Chains A and B, each alone.
Chain A
Amino acid sequence: MTIIELSHLAKKFGAIQALRDVNATITGNIIGLLGPNGAGKSTLLKCLLGLIPFEGKATVLGLSAATDGPAIRDRVGYMPEQEALLTDMSAVELCTYAGELSGLPRTEAMQRAHAALYYAGLEDKRYQPIEGYSTGMKQRVKLAQALVHDPELLFLDEPTNGLDPRSRDEMLDLIVELPQRRGCAIILSTHLLPDVERVCDHAVIMHQASVKFVGTIDELRGARGDDTALTVEVKADAAKLAAALSEAGATCTVNSPIQLSVDLPPQATTELVFRRARDAGIQVRGIEVRRESVEAAFLRVVGADKDVAA
């Protein structure tokens, strides 16, 4: 299902072009929104929520961002990066208030506030004033208040910011479960690319006011269309196989006695690896096409553009 559709979207602030002819069709369950500072992510988000006027066309959940901003915001949850909580309230009061502000009747808002806080793991602390909460607990309240009105789409802005490793893991677990448990899609804006690698199935990369990549994480990592970069696992003596493959024109790096990275020569296939291994009397236990990390792929997408710009 298409969540967001952008057609010739453009936005200018005075002389600054914040978004330039953005075209994209965004689908997926958990979509990573990536880009360096100033790439246009915040501006895109404001356009999508119908908070600022723009040129071109943008639809969110089938609604026009230009004309149906309030209706979109009723169906979207937003977890901000910065602290944006009414700290003199308890978590359950805040979430109830958030639910009512999104149009839920008071009783329904209260019930859903409890449920959202349970989901976020704050069941024990939900009656305490928020001002006494730790950073991790505040992040959980922010997630709960974004969930309370039952949104179909969630914008999460740096949800693991300031969290210790364990809290970060727990937050990512909550995020990963959301599409299945709550039936909502997620747009995750973050600088932490390992988080994207762990939870996202799709990615949107923005750079210099336009979208540079839209697609699945697998497409991003394998976007080179190159399956001659392999990781080979053997029973033993990886160095011997590396030597044999090097003679055939491959470039090899021995990672450990049982693993090596191989870049095959042009037109060669995995058949070359099996043949050389058999000749050398080495048992091959596994071959994987070596994928880029999301971080490397991101740098490639953004970096390539930098080269063009230069």
Chain B
Amino acid sequence: MFANFDFDVIERSWRYLFFTGMAFTLRLTLFAMAGGIVFGTLLAMMRLSSIKPLAWIAGTYVNTLRSVPLVLVIFWFYFLVPYIGAWVLRSDTPIQVGAFASSLLTFVMFEACYYCEIMRAGIQSIPRGQVSAGYALGLTYWQSMALVVLPQAFRNMLPVLLTQTIVLFQDVSLVYVLSITDFVGAASKVAERDGRLVEMYSFVAVIYFAACFALSQLVRRLQARIAVVR
């Protein structure tokens, strides 16, 4: 099977694959993770809020977005954001949104739903007495969240947050539907140009496997360390 396997195509294209493709994938993953965790934490605080409308809005948002395939959300956003932007800015023509901005926005909005549920569990894992103790010392809601609850919730949830980020890293490959040159996109371009589909897609799979396997091992070790500290 590997008799006419052409390793040369990898040799010729790896710079392009990594410096253009993987660089995009990593950048999108990291920004989407940061944005998703911030937005997701806010959603989690809303879902747990005693103000019913806030809880309802966040709950509906999370449940709706989680019931739609990610590919569809990516498409929708890509084609709708220019028009929504035009509507918000009261402009007559659709605004120009780059592929990166559009896909970043999509992933932040989408992944926030999953980070929200993780942070919700994290916040709920902190005993109520901790909040009471914060309040009793005169801290406000935001202060006791920022100084007492969230730091502990993050620490408890760190392994799950990172696992979700590994999923995100894989999900980012779906932007190929927008013809964006992420890692998979770059590989498929080379593959089709050189007619070396098997080689390129095998190579991509190996890299993804290696990266994700290494990351999940890291998470496992982290988990063990946290368990000792607590």
A, B in one complex: no
